[in-house]
Chain A
């Protein structure tokens, strides 16, 4: 394949509707691109990623004998794979494609900079073209996928996901750190919206899991180390002080969440002022004796520390309020709320039913929180515009759902991000809600965000599907972005081997002496070895020193 001065580059500048076109002078960019070295074709598209745009790229490759393609558009993080595929389909090696980000990192962040934004885009395109000129074709590496998934967390999400995968014919290792499966379900009484018995649901799930020969359940087990990459994860778990090792193809995080202990809030004491979770216990044990119950919503949620809404507390409060009313029709139940979260087709009617059954709803504002005193709750009713004093036997706090405190450890082992509230961060909030950005890792249930049982179940099936996609393929194609050693220059000093986090480069004895050799399947392509090699003997495929320096040169035009 040709490179360097034989490069024939096609540049496609996307309007992205008005997302780019509304802020940058796209026709100017097209003109500018055409005049860059090695560019033989330049065009704009309304949406380069649309079928029309993709066809234009394909036709341009054919008709202009392009051997490099540069697309200046949104961001490579979402669209690079698409354009690489298109190149591949047209017979062009997908690594001869370069993406220039002129939307997420240009038009969208310089909306009022006018010409300066277009000038920046020109610089970026010039840099991209310079890099494209030096790109070389790369061959992808195919690696076998271990036909097994590890599901971390044995609650409703973890069990559901495991069952679905097992039913599709895949082996599952279900890891649970407690001594029994079930998670939060074990502590619940009845489930909304139809007052299903929690113990019945959890027993069924546990029974199905136990019966299923493909699911290997490991209770009282925690994850202590995770290495590897998609299709080939090496997980070390701890069980009774012993380490065990498993090889799996994909991992699903279903570690759930917990209920915040509202210490110091509303006089919480676990006896007269309890959480909804503690109320579930009371209801289950039949030990509830209360004639006047005051429930307070948004405890620890929607505040400065946790600005998010925990989603499930309103329905949960409604459910428990109705149960209390059912057990004791004479009882008085108050729900002090900020907004009632009864979304969807099924939940609104419970709100209506509760009101019809005499549950009293009082709206309070966060600026004027209810005060729990001795035997009474003082609340300023926003709708009435006056303060009420409510006598109580029991105050129930709808406390926030929070991430487990040790989520950070697991996140670090997996090398995945968490958001500011401690919930795991998925690859894309809209279109990849159960994927992590790292291939082969998935997530579902409350570990992702507070959700109810039905939602956990949907997410669990979703994670099973995403996992199945990888396992079904049997093979993954690894990106060929790996290091390579110029053996003539290598002095065998071993610095690379010492520092490589993946043990992917080793110094070996050869006839020419000690030389560093890259283990291609293990190399992750970080480039740490290359940037540190004392002899400058190591570079990276697709991110070589020449390519990177060429980008810098293209930016500055050559010199001081």
Chain B
């Protein structure tokens, strides 16, 4: 899927009431023109943006999402924008796992006095999305697969594991864990990426199980992972009580989701 002639991206923008929304208004008052591709949703703080909202936007076919907050240190709610950045960076990582360009999700900072900056950022982002093409044109799989993958990501982001991890990032890095051991950012990033992959794969497997029973091989075929990777995940998922063996077909166990 290459970008079509005359493709007009549709972009969702989350703007925080105090800085970026005011900056956008200032762009208006100053008549700084920019392309009409962005649809703005106003929130009080950029930290209101749940990563699942971003996934909702992509799941429904939007080509790009931007989240603008106050400059670091200037957040009206003090630390909101720090949380925003961590969550959006996490979401960008999962988009990469899906096979989408993480550049489709932008987090940046615009102050109430920066009308020109707002217009420039929006213009640049619109251009970038135009280059990338419609959602999924950078991927090698079809629309149905994209939908499944996005759903798995959304489930992963809605689940407690990743939310807990990203929520504790600041504390782990700056204050340390229960043993007082501080985690260097690099190590944390490594842990985060591993967790993202695990949760993503887990949810893809769960989705593939749907309402039916599948063998490891069938699952592997559906989600495009090796049987070894599927099995590794299943072991953990069984331990978490998410899946169980329902019956054996020939020599292969058939797994189902537990608890419906």
Contact = CB atoms under 8 A, between A and B. Distances in A.
Interface of A: 75-77, 101, 103-106, 108-113, 116-117, 119-120, 123-124, 127, 411-412, 415, 417, 419-420, 425, 437-438, 481, 491, 493, 495, 498-499, 501-502, 524-528, 530-536, 540, 543, 545, 548-549, 551-553, 555-556, 558-560
Contacts of B242: none
A530 B50 contact: yes
A411 B71 CA distance: 13
A109 to B, nearest CB: 5
Contacts of A116: 8, 36
B247 interface: no
A84 to B, nearest CB: 15
Interface in B35-77: 35-36, 39-45, 47-51, 53, 56-57, 59-62, 73-77
Given A75-B25, A553-B56, A556-B61, 15 more contacts: A112-B33, A127-B41, A417-B19, A417-B111, A425-B112, A481-B44, A495-B163, A498-B167, A528-B79, A530-B48, A532-B50, A533-B163, A548-B43, A555-B10, A555-B12
B42 A534 contact: no
Nearest to A547: B41
Nearest to A104: B28
A528 B39 contact: no
A548 B33 contact: no
B192 to A, nearest CB: 15
A556 B57 CA distance: 8
Main secondary structure of the interface of B (DSSP, over half): mixed
Contacts of B21: 77
B137 interface: no
Contacts of A531: 47-51, 83, 87
Given A415-B78, A531-B48, A552 B40 contact: no
Given A109-B31, A109-B119, A495-B168, A555 B80 contact: no
A495 B167 contact: yes
A438 B60 CA distance: 36
B183 to A, nearest CB: 16
A253 to B, nearest CB: 16
A53 to B, nearest CB: 20
B160 interface: yes
Contact of B83 (A525, A528, A536, A545): A528
Most chain A beta-carbon contacts within 10 A, residue among B28, B78, B160: B28
Contacts of B41: 127, 548, 551-552
Contacts of A124: 39-40
9 contacts: A104-B27, A119-B36, A123-B39, A420-B113, A425-B112, A525-B44, A528-B48, A531-B87, A552-B57
Given A105-B28, A534-B160, A559-B61, A113 B167 contact: no
Given A415-B74, A532-B163, A549-B56, A75 B28 contact: yes
A300 to B, nearest CB: 21
Nearest to B83: A528
Contacts of B77: 501-502, 524, 526, 528
A420 B146 CA distance: 44
B60 A558 contact: yes
Interface residues of B, number: 66
A560 B111 CA distance: 34
A548 B74 CA distance: 25
B22 interface: yes
B171 interface: yes
A101 B79 CA distance: 27
Given A415-B78, A417-B74, A531-B50, A111 B168 contact: no
B32 interface: yes
Contacts of A109: 27-28, 31-34, 36, 119
B111 to A, nearest CB: 6
B60 A77 contact: no
A423 to B, nearest CB: 10
B1 to A, nearest CB: 13
A540 B160 CA distance: 19
B193 interface: no
A532 B49 CA distance: 9
**A-B pairs, 8 with minimum CB distance:** A527-B48, A104-B28, A534-B160, A526-B77, A526-B45, A556-B60, A528-B47, A501-B78
A117 B28 CA distance: 13
A443 to B, nearest CB: 15
A105 B48 contact: no
Nearest to B21: A77
A419 B115 CA distance: 12
Nearest to B33: A109
B90 to A, nearest CB: 11
A105 B45 contact: no
Contacts of B248: none
A6 B59 CA distance: 29
Nearest to B78: A501
A109 B119 CA distance: 9
B164 interface: yes
Nearest to B45: A526
A247 to B, nearest CB: 20
B180 to A, nearest CB: 16
Contacts of B79: 499, 501, 528
A555 B62 contact: yes
B142 to A, nearest CB: 11
A553 B39 CA distance: 12
Nearest to B43: A543
Contacts of A532: 47, 50, 83, 87, 163, 166-167
Contacts of B62: 552, 555-556
Contacts of A111: 31, 33
Contacts of B50: 530-532, 545
A560 B143 contact: yes
B161 to A, nearest CB: 8
Interface string B110-150: 01110000010000000000000001000000010011000
Nearest to A101: B40
A531 B57 CA distance: 16
